[in-house]
Amino acid sequence: MAVRIALAGKGGTGKTTTAALLIRYLVETGQGPVLAVDADPNANLNELLGLTVEITLGEIKNELRTSVPESMARGDFMEMRVHEALVEAEGYDLLVMGQPEGPGCYCAAHAFLSQALQRLEKSYRYLVVDNEAGMEHLSRLNMVEIDHLLVVSDASTRGVLTAARIAALVKPLQLQVAHQWLLVNRAPETIPGALDLYVRETCQKEGLQFLGYLPESPEIFELEISQRPLWELPSGHPLLQKAYHLFDHMLEVPKNS
């Protein structure tokens, strides 16, 4: 089974940016293949990766109601379509969940999808799931065992408190998380002592491991406004160096491997 890493955090804190950085890190350090899953209904991970999405898993679930050829079992149809929905890139693939179904859950489709994903996952070393704040997709898809839950916060005490509250959803959603991390994103160059103290105390109190700070980067802003993928950030950029160092620590990769 792949090592599962899921992103969580309040809206706009940098989950998708962090997911894209993590995917780039895993690919560039030769730790692939990676399966990236965009589980945010307002999917935009593909844009940060510079990929075009043809069909989402939500759309495939709808096809299951109407378009299954008579000669085909629904499970086999789902598996075939999931493979077709994979966006293939160098060192990693991307799947997009899309919008959840409207009223009246089509639970059979969900079960088929969850089975197809679990079979697919076996071909990858890492699974990176970008989420909306609530993480409901993970429990709905039966993806309950998570190796690393990476909760992203902005650099504020209120943001950190919200991140801790989001991490506390793990229990009611019945997720089984081996490591819960807090990442404080868009941090100023000099971290105010009061914020640092608050971050560390909150992590201790709430059972989170503090991963570290990612700096605010004008280059990320530039890429965003010109709608260019994060891959265009030049290698060796301070943000990449910092992020890679944190990811090494999270995944315990020895320094010179």
Ligand X SMILES: Nc1ncnc2c1ncn2[C@@H]1O[C@H](COP(=O)(O)OP(=O)(O)OP(=O)(O)O)[C@@H](O)[C@H]1O
Lay out the sheet containing 92-96: strands in order across: 87-89, 92-96, 34-38, 126-130, 3-8, 145-153, 176-187, 209-215
Q: What Å distances lie between residue 79 and 84, 96, 165, 179, CA to CA?
A: 9, 15, 36, 30
| Site of tokens 């105390």 | 201
| Residue numbers 175-214 binding ligand X by CB under 6 A | 185-186, 214
Which residue number, 16 or 180, has a Cβ lying nearer to Mg ion? Answer: 16
On whether the CB atoms of residues 156 and 191 are closer than 8 A, the answer is no
Integer Cα distance of 15 and 19 in angstroms: 6
Interaction partner, residue 214 (ligand X, Mg ion, none; CB < 5-8 Å by kind): ligand X
Closer residue to ligand X in complex, CB, 130/147: 130
Nearer to Mg ion (CB atom), residue 63 or residue 136: 136
- Tokens standing for residue 159: 């943001």
Q: Which of residues 16-35 bind ligand X (CB under 6 A)?
A: 16-17
9 binds, among ligand X, Mg ion, none (CB under 5 to 8 A by kind): ligand X
With CB under 5 A as the contact rule, the residue among 6, 14, 16, 217 that binds Mg ion is 16
CB closer to Mg ion out of 94 and 195: 94
Nearest approach, Cβ of 50 to Mg ion (angstroms)? 16
Query: What CA–CA distance (Å, rounded) separates 124 from 140?
Result: 21
| Contact status: 232 vs ligand X (CB under 6 A) | no
Residue in 217, 246, 250, 251 binding ligand X, rule: CB under 6 A? 217
What residues form DSSP beta bridges with 212? 183
Question: To which H or E segment does residue 147 belong?
Answer: strand 145-153
Q: Is the dihedral of CA 35, 31, 180, 197 positive or negative?
A: negative
Q: How many residues bind Mg ion, per CB under 5 A?
A: 2
- CA 40 centroid distance within chain: 9
Query: Least distance from C-beta 254 to Mg ion, angstroms?
Result: 31
Shortest CB 16 distance to Mg ion, Å: 3
Q: Does 12 bind ligand X (CB under 6 A)?
A: yes
Q: Rounded to whole angstroms, how far apart are CA atoms 40 and 152?
A: 15
**Which residues of the chain form contacts with ligand X (CB under 6 A)?**
9, 11-17, 40, 185-186, 214, 216-217, 220-221, 224
**Site for Mg ion, rule CB under 5 A:** 15-16
